[in-house]
Amino acid sequence: MEYDGNCSQFAHQGNVHTKIRAMTTDNASEMPPAFEHIRNELREQHGVSLEEGWHLRCVCHIIHQVVVDSEVFIKPKLEKFRTMIKTIRLSPKLRAGFKNVQVRLGKKESETKEVPGLDVKNR
């Protein structure tokens, strides 16, 4: 069922007002006041008593926001790391040192990489 802005009509379709326990939305700032309005309307017009925490924020939206906010801190360090990798890739001496480090860390000579790989951008 789709909500068209008419809470009363929506609540009566399929006796929905007796079945609502929670609703999930994105994290837009206008959602809490909108849901408080819907909660009041359901209580006043249909006698539906919803608990205080019935509006749930989508966990996927929350995780996405954490990732976006974290990028500010991670990006400068990642750029330094990419620069270091590019420098190793361009220098034969550093490439040999890179291979040496891998062997000292326990990799077999046949399993070592000649140069470190650069990461790729994902969607």
Q: Is residue 84 part of a domain?
A: yes
Residues 82 and 53 in one domain: no
Is the confidence at residue 6, as pLDDT, over 70?
no
Is the confidence at residue 123, as pLDDT, over 70?
no
Residues 84 and 42 in one domain: no
How close are the terminal C-alpha atoms of the chain, in Å? 32
Q: Is residue 121 part of a domain?
A: no
pLDDT band for 39, please (50, 70, 90 cuts). Answer: confident
Residues 50 and 83 in one domain: no
Is the confidence at residue 116, as pLDDT, over 90?
no
Q: Is residue 62 part of a domain?
A: no
Condensed to tens digits (0 to 9), the pLDDT of residues 66-104 reads: 888 998 899 899 899 889 888 988 999 998 898 889 899
pLDDT band for 25, please (50, 70, 90 cuts). Answer: confident
Q: Is residue 120 part of a domain?
A: no
Q: Is residue 64 part of a domain?
A: no
Residues 51 and 20 in one domain: yes
Domain end among 15, 31, 57: 57
Contact 98, 115 (CB under 8 A): yes
Domain tally for the chain?
2
Q: Is residue 26 part of a domain?
A: yes
Contact 28, 58 (CB under 8 A): no
Paired sense of beta strands 55-57 and 23-25, if any: parallel
Looking at the DSSP bridge assignments, the partners of residue 56 are 24
CA nearest to 100, candidates 89, 91, 109, 90: 109
Averaged pLDDT for residues 26-51:
77
Q: Is residue 123 part of a domain?
A: no
Q: Is residue 67 part of a domain?
A: no
Separation of alpha carbons 56 and 75, rounded Å: 31
What is the domain extent for residue 17?
7-57
Residue 2: predicted pLDDT: 55
Residues 13 and 39 in one domain: yes
Residues of the chain above pLDDT 90, percent: 10
pLDDT band for 20, please (50, 70, 90 cuts). Answer: low
Averaged pLDDT for residues 39-53:
75
pTM of the model: 0.44
